[in-house]
Amino acid sequence: MTLRQAYHYVKSARPIIRPNVGFWKQMIDYERKIRVRSSNVISVLLYT
């Protein structure tokens, strides 16, 4: 699930949510780290 999908999922259940800028920055950084990690795993699986 992407950050965008997660946001929309929570927003549909609780429309009042309004994450602040600091929270968004942390979540964006976390999503980037996960993407890099998962792409590294895929590369290892494809090229071994």
Nearest CA-CA partner of 30 in 3, 8, 4, 6:
3
Interval 29-38: pLDDT, tens: 999 998 887 6
- Tell me how many degrees the CA angle 12-15-16 measures, rounded to the nearest 5: 155
Would you state the pLDDT for residue 9? Answer: 98
Interval 3-38: pLDDT, tens: 999 999 999 999 999 999 999 999 999 999 988 876
**Centroid of chain to Cα 10:** 13
Helix (H), strand (E) counts: the chain: 2, 0
* Residue 1 pLDDT > 70: yes
Q: Which one has a higher pLDDT value, 43 or 13?
A: 13
